[in-house]
Amino acid sequence: MVFPTDIKNRLLSHLHQAVDQKIATSKSMIDSAVESKTNETKSTAGDKYETGRAMMQAEQEKSEVRLAQSMYLKNVLNTIKTDHNHKLVQMGSLVSTKDHHYFISIGIGKIILKDHLIYAISPESPIGKLLLGKKVDDKFIFQEKLRHISALL
């Protein structure tokens, strides 16, 4: 399959947008939890007040973890170079097999760009580990099926 020449740049841009959205959502959730905790007034039912504050604190902490994870993904994306074709599968490679296309980057999943279905996968994922270091015409087994690398950008 022939991809547009700027496909890797468009994939990377799509991933940046997805991660930016996750960052914005996490920040919004943190702000909301902080505001809710601040505005919570102590009622005569002290246990209810404490339970509500504890729940808001837990929600804030979950959102902070999600934010840290998203910031990590953003940093990973910032290391990807799309300006050259790879001879061996590595971070930033676009790998094609008969059935699927994989962008070695972060594990976001399916991306559809101009009628192309491409899976954004992490090099730490099961298939990412199998692909790393492979070249065009190499074969590998994934999910009990023999696969063949037909193209590599």
Q: How many domains does the chain have?
A: 2
Instruction: Supply the pLDDT for residue 45.
Output: 52
Q: In this structure, how many other beta carbons lie within 10 angstroms of the beta carbon of residue 5?
A: 8
**Of the candidates 25, 43, 78, which is a domain's last residue?**
78
Distance, CA of 89 to CA of 123 (rounded, Å): 10
Q: In this structure, how many other beta carbons lie within 10 angstroms of the beta carbon of residue 129?
A: 12
This prediction's pTM = 0.85
Instruction: Supply the pLDDT for residue 51.
Output: 75
Selection from 30, 51, 29, 26 nearest residue 40 by Cα = 51
Range list of H helices, the chain: 7-39, 46-78, 126-131
Full residue range of the structural domain in which residue 54 is found: 7-78
Which tens digits make up the pLDDT trace of 60-96? 899 999 999 999 999 999 999 988 888 999 999 999 9
**Residues 71 and 104 occupy one common structural domain:** no
Instruction: Supply the pLDDT for residue 128.
Output: 97
Q: How far is CA 4 from CA 10, 28, 80, in A?
A: 10, 36, 19
Q: Which residues of the chain register pLDDT less than 70?
A: 1-2, 4, 40-49
